[in-house]
Amino acid sequence: MERFDKSFTRQEPIPDDAIAAAVEVMRSGALHRYGADPSQVAALESEFAASVGSRYCVAVASGGYAMRAALAALGVGPGDPVLTNGWTLAPVPGAIAALGARPVLVETTGRLVIDLRDLAGKLDRAKVLLLSHMRGHLADMPALTRLCDDAGVAVVEDCAHTMGADWDGRPSGTWGAVGCYSTQTYKHVNAGEGGLAVTDDADLAAKMVLLSGSYMLYERHGAAPDASVFERHRDVVPNVSGRMDELRAAILRPQVAALPARREAWNLRYRLLEDGLRDAPGLAVVPRPQAEGYVGSSIQVLADDPARVPGFVAGCAARGVEWKWFGGDRAVGFTSAHRHWGYVAPQDLPRTDAVLARLLDMRVPLTFDAADCAAIGRIVREEAARTLA
């Protein structure tokens, strides 16, 4: 039988211009953002803010830190309820729980986005929604923001999987009060770890800068409010150091500039895989709305019969094709479900559970080519016919 031999976790090399910039930083010895002049971090903040059309940007140590800082800047504290998706990755409810707040989970639809009907029924329970664009699937953002605005609920967008994506031309991360992005290795730009937060609200931006540990050197930020805004907050917002360093920013700047080309490269591979999986017996490809400008760095399918999924996953794995299943009894690596999060109070999500029982997820590395996508499609169709039909 045909076997696929490439790694699903192998990243493409860091670009040569990013390597050169990183070497220059290392030779300078000025790795701290406030010790470099000019600062790579400040430049990254300016360039990323401009790329999404936001006024302010704060570069931090991780995407999780960006979410936690955004929630703290909005005043979330111990015991406060915060709405979030029933299907997401563990760092999203983790950012809420780390502040002592309480995640309130919202159902997920078969299109893998937050259920707006369930959200509408729960908006009176909290003042903040931490919205996860899980695996790159965007909800109807105009409808969602209307619901939240009418209810007085602030939206923080988790854009770990949607950097470079948009809804009807408006970038992901610019619909709510704050947009949070990850630059961890398996995201759309790769610094090993890191995060970015964007906003048009001067007070939120100033608070996040102070939280990141500015030591009152906020004038050295590339896309920050005027000093007068910081004066309102400088003596009351705690320093919870989580700054991005110069080395990571140097690696990221060329990748951010290349993001539109990377989006096209991912979407080419995504469409090839989508075509190859569309006719697989017992599987359904998740549809994408016309308004959604996605970045196809992963692909999801729904199995008709959850009971047959383990055999299908094992059969594909034996032939080198890796699926992640969200219906398992235990968390495995990055793959977990709400029932696995011991720091979240158990909640009844029958529609989400029904979706997760059928949900299969595959990474789409840029190290794959068209022939690789065709081979994966053949193997999946064969294994689906053998185990799912």
Residue 71: CA count within 13 A, CB half-sphere: 32
Does one domain contain both 235 and 263? no
Q: Are residues 264 and 159 in the same domain?
A: no
Last residue of a domain, one of 240, 257, 274: 257
SS3 218: helix
Pair type for strands 81-85 and 128-132: parallel
Choose the final residue of a domain: 257, 275, 301: 257
* Residue ranges making up the domain that contains 239: 16-257
Both 205 and 305 in one domain: the answer is no
The answer on 290 and 191 residing in a single domain is no
- Residue 363 has a CB neighbour count (10 Å cut-off) of 18
Is 358 contained in some domain? yes
Question: In angstroms, rounded to a whole number, what is the distance separating the alpha carbons of residues 165 and 144?
Answer: 17
Residue located via tokens 């299907």: 87
CATH of the domain at 242: 3.40.640.10
The Cα 387–Cα 389 span in angstroms is 6
Residue 37 lies in a domain: yes
Asked, for residue 9, whether it belongs to a domain, the answer is no
- Taking alpha carbons only, the member of 367, 283, 350 closest to residue 323 is 283
Q: What is the tally of structural domains in the chain?
A: 2
Q: Tell me: the pLDDT tens digits for 338-371?
A: 999 999 999 999 999 999 999 999 999 999 999 9
Q: pLDDT (tens digit, 9 = 90+) per residue, 219-257?
A: 999 999 999 999 999 999 999 999 999 999 999 999 999
273, pLDDT greater than 90:
yes
Tell me the mean pLDDT in the region 297-326. 97
- The per-residue pLDDT for range 175-212, each reduced to its tens digit, is 999 999 999 999 999 999 999 999 999 999 999 999 99
Question: What pLDDT sits at residue 332?
Answer: 84
H-helix or E-strand spanning residue 251: helix 246-257
Given pLDDT bands bounded at 50, 70 and 90, which one contains residue 331? confident
What CATH number is attached to the domain comprising 305?
3.90.1150.10
> CA torsion sign, 191 to 211 to 47 to 217?
negative
What is the arithmetic mean of pLDDT over 157-176? 98
Among the three residues 230, 257, 284, which one is the final residue of a domain in this structure? 257
Judge whether 3 lies within some domain.
no
Q: Does one domain contain both 115 and 213?
A: yes
Q: Please tell me the predicted confidence (pLDDT) of residue 139.
A: 98
| Residue 162 in tokens | 């949607």
How high is the pLDDT of residue 354?
97
Task: Indicate if the pLDDT at residue 333 is higher than 90.
Answer: no
Residues 137, 242: one domain?
A: yes
| Interacting residues of 241 by C-beta distance below 8 A, sequence separation 6+ | 212, 213
Q: What angle separates helix 246-257 from helix 16-28, to the nearest 10 degrees?
A: 160
Q: Record the pTM.
A: 0.97
Distance CA 341, CA 349 (A): 14
Write out pLDDT tens, residues 107-133: 999 999 999 999 999 999 999 999 999
pLDDT number for residue 334: 81
Q: Specify if 2 maps to a domain.
A: no
Q: Which range (190-199, 262-271, 325-334) has the least confidence?
A: 325-334
